[in-house]
Amino acid sequence: MVTSTAAAHKTPQQQTRVLIVGNYCHDVLMQKDTVKAESLGGAASFISNVVNGMSVSCNLVSKVGEDFKYPVDFTPIVIPTSKTTVFHAYFDLAIHGNCHQDRVLKRVSACDPIRPSDLPDARSKFGMAVGVGGEILPETLERMIETCDAVFVDIQALIRVFDSVDGTVKLVKLEETEFYSLLPRIEVLKASSEEAVFMDVEEVRKWCCVVVTNGKEGCKVYWKDGELGIPPFLANQKDPTGAGDSFLGGFVAGLVQGLAVPDAALLGNLFGSLTVEQIGLPKFDSRLLQRVKDEVQRRKMQFLHCERSEYELEFLKPDGHEQFHASLGAAKSTPPFSIQARPWTPSNSPKETEQTPIPHYTAQAKLLANSVYEEPIQTVEGKP
């Protein structure tokens, strides 16, 4: 049974390794004003899926309305007076056969924001601010900074704005937001390559680590004194939905377990590649997860002799980094039990589309074919 008030949600609890903060959403794919697909959305759903898969203890704070329709592993706060956040992604699939170029993303409803009082009283070792619909407030991020030993932020939680008439998603420069002054107090800021142009990376890297993901090119890590490219993993892409979110989940899971930043970024790239190979929220094969956890543990054991704080980020590429990349790639090649996934095409009828389930979280499983997070979206006129 879901809780209906924030007060009921906050119960005494032990310190958790990871606190994930961001609302669950309903994602809807539209074509010519017709609903073609639906699924559970929100960066928090993808991130918690990865963190759970890596057996890292975590807590999740999310708000939904009474209309929320998906079973989830982490109970959200239900707001009786609000609807669940809903995004509509509009595509003209007939133009050039490329639905990514002509997408318009709209927030058609928004649940209440997550406030400082909604956060657990217990301290967390790692906090993740991963809002998608404007639910992360500056004061909420500040509270996370106060109660978490290290905070990781997805830039989309900071720079998204929404048209007051139709909810169209636009991006603004990071320096124009109320979050800008908090950057020196966070540990890592993650952005896609499309989002990265809305900040001065050279300036922000002076205050915190910046990680920029770039799909099949892997990612790049920037810090005050250097930068490093992290190689990708080959993937047969079926659906890019949530790839960046899964990356961030894998990245933090690696850091929690003691990996250096370059190795943790490899783990992030691995989970991003696994995510694009399935449709919607991915279901990770248990044998694959065990092999990945074994490789991470083996890698961690190689550096037990290193003297550094549990929360001190190690940016230099450690010896054996390439071998770790190869071992994770080998783990990925583990044959799965059975994963049925197929890309959505305009020729599929709605009835056929609904026959492909999104595993693990969905009650009314439907296929979502295109990302509402990882592809370029409309920018504010007059701004780069």
Residues carrying an active site annotation: 245
Which is it for strands 85-91 and 104-109: parallel, antiparallel or unpaired? antiparallel
Secondary structure of residue 25 in the 3-state scheme: strand
What contacts 24+ positions apart, CB below 8 Å, involve 137-146?
137/113, 138/178, 138/179, 138/182, 139/115, 140/21, 140/113, 140/114, 140/115, 140/116, 141/179, 141/182, 141/186, 142/116, 142/182, 142/185, 143/116, 143/119, 144/19, 144/21, 144/119, 145/182, 145/185, 145/186
Residue 170 DSSP SS3: strand
Tell me which residue of 304, 309, 275 sits closest to 45, measured CA to CA: 275
> How many C-beta atoms lie closer than 10 Å to residue 357's C-beta?
17
Q: Name the residue type at position 315.
A: F
Distance of CA 175 to the CA centre of its chain: 22
Return the biggest CA–CA distance within the chain.
60
**CA dist., res. 320 & res. 36, Å (int):** 46
